[in-house]
A and B are shown apart, each in its own frame.
Chain A
Amino acid sequence: MSFIETDVQKDLRASVARLGERYSYTSYTLPRARAGEPLTELWNEAGKLGFLGVSLPEEYGGGGAGIYELALVEEELSARGAGLMMMVVSPAICGTILARYGTGEQRRRWLPGLADGSKIMAFGITEPDAGSNSHQITTTGRRDGDTWVVTGRKVFITGVDRADAVLIVARTEDHRTGKLKPALFIVPTGAENFVAQPMEMDIAEPEHQFTLFLDDVRLPAGALVGQQDAALAQLFAGLNPERILGAAMAVGMGRYALAQAVKYASTRRVWKTPVGAHQGIAHPLAQTRIELELARLMMQKAAALYDSGDDTGAAEAANMAKYAAAEASIRALEQAIQTHGGSGLTAELGLSTMLAMARIIRIAPVSREMILNFVAEHTLGLPKSY
């Protein structure tokens, strides 16, 4: 890993930044989030420019670069307040899993669309009784002749209304209990006996969350991704990019918040001095910058490890990056609001709305507490608590 980005990475950053500026937060993303409408124009344009598929293989229409570049795209968009939540899911999780473990047919069918954004795949892992404890997943796939019959229930599944299919994490009938041996199924959103119900969230977002009911959904044999009962590796191939992309969104939102705060603190005068000259305002912003920069560096390390093929090393780094980025972005938004005083809570700036979005990343895809458990147990070797 080098601290110096290549010309390609720098040019990509610059081009994505300009796209993000055109679809900026207050003029585009914020009104859409409040209306609960998707960011379709931005999504399509980012897809056409090859930004969504930057990490997918070239032979399937992708850019042939890595998760580093995909995270860079997400970070720069988010830094303009134009982050795309479905990037975390569709190209980062589903695209990566299909590229690494999908059959030839699955790759041909899905990857070109996921790369240019014309197809969207959601990801369904969480269940009412299996959140952090994903080993207790009960959604089950049963073989019936040449087909699979999948039954189960999922919650908090993002963007299903816009998706062509959902990559469902299940287990096979033979491994109904015990340590999870995940079987991944591509379930078209139009499949019979597949019902998606929107959940009412108290967050203004362009994407909606869904509860899914799969009641004997019949799928062709080709719906199973990779190996039945494959080791967890297949699942984690997608979960590490998810964490890295989540960190990228958080770092980007933090950068956005900090930029707003700095702009305001440099110009707003109370009595004679710009408020940014006062250390009570300046120091927390400087601290925010340091914390964001550290989180960003960890995110880049995680991406570099992942792209080098070190899945195990990437897991720890991706967890740490997601933890640090979520905390830093929440503090950045808090401090940006505080710096603005009363203006910080106006609808015009939308900082409270963004704070709620940043708040998601402290919980998802894995909670702050579960990361601390992971580091305590795996990094420090402390006894397991659960």
Chain B
Amino acid sequence: MNIVVCVKQVPDTATERRLRPGEGTLDRATPDGLINELDEYAIEEGLRIAEAHEGEVTILSMGPAKAAESIRKALSMGADKAIHVVDDGLAGSDALATSYAIAQVLEETGFDLVITGSESTDARMGVLAAMLAERLGVPQLTLASKVDIDGTRITVRRVSDEGFDEVEASLPAVVSVMEKINEPRYPSFKGIMAAKKKPVRTLSLADAGIDADQVGLAASATEVVDFAARPPRQAGVIVKDEGDGGTKAAAFLTERKFI
């Protein structure tokens, strides 16, 4: 089974993240680039499915040269090979442009199953899996907290307010996963050593057959018109309890429409 896991390098959520003035795009030059957390669950799920169904896991990442670190980390977890789409022309691509570029690569590599994290910690759009499925003309099974595969039949469990839904489709398909699905493994020392020798194909726009006019900041359908730093937190209100503390607290919550 040919499994492709989409991996995005994002700035460490523990550090301060900035938008670039003018473009309104995320400043990716910060030193601490990490694998998007939900993508680690996607990698783990890909590895588990590959182990159970004699599959091969390919990591697919679009991002600047620095993303190579995250690709190596994904390979050290046990993936077999990787494709890194890196080109200055991709900078500033929104979700729609990104999904076009990734779909172009997937058309070329072929796949039985594409797995993504359900959203990234930077842009938080949570739409890539759906867009990919649409572009590729295959079923989408999103927000999965459990994946079962039986031949070409794929079933996922998706948590809902009432319990969970079971969604069924046939392969090839696109799945996005939630953090409940598994516990990602840590790279073992053997995995770290082996990652050095695993093949990573680096593709430019031309290599991947991606039309330069459909990607990048200029071609993006969405535009960041303006942004501002979050205002500093206001000082809290201290309510002195003079026998009516409960009433005052309730009034405070009512005023803000919490109750």
Contacts and interface: CB of A to CB of B under 8 A. Distances in A.
Q: Decide if the interface of chain B is mainly helix, strand, loop or mixed.
A: helix
A263 to B, nearest CB: 13
B220 to A, nearest CB: 33
Contacts of B189: 12, 15, 49-51, 54, 63, 65, 69
A12 B73 CA distance: 10
B186 A11 contact: no
B216 interface: no
Interface in A156-171: none
A230 interface: no
Interface residues of B, number: 12
Interface in B73-89: 73, 76
Contacts of B76: 11, 15
Q: Decide if the interface of chain A is mainly helix, strand, loop or mixed.
A: helix
Interface string A57-81: 0000001010001000000000000
A99 B76 CA distance: 27
Contacts of B188: 15, 48-51
Contacts of A19: 186
A8 B186 contact: no
A41 interface: no
Interface string B176-214: 000000000011111011011000000000000000000
B198 to A, nearest CB: 13
A133 B188 CA distance: 41
Contact of B187 (A15, A54, A65): A15
Interface in B24-77: 72-73, 76
Interface in A1-35: 7-8, 11-12, 14-15, 18-19
Contacts of A11: 72-73, 76, 187, 192, 195
B187 A8 contact: no
Interface string B73-111: 100100000000000000000000000000000000000
A60 to B, nearest CB: 14
B251 to A, nearest CB: 30
Interface string B132-162: 0000000000000000000000000000000
A19 B185 CA distance: 10
Nearest to B193: A8
B72 A50 contact: no
10 contacts: A7-B196, A8-B192, A8-B193, A8-B196, A14-B73, A15-B187, A15-B192, A48-B188, A49-B189, A63-B190
8 smallest CB-CB distances across A and B, nearest first, come from: A50-B189, A49-B188, A63-B189, A15-B187, A11-B192, A50-B188, A15-B186, A54-B189
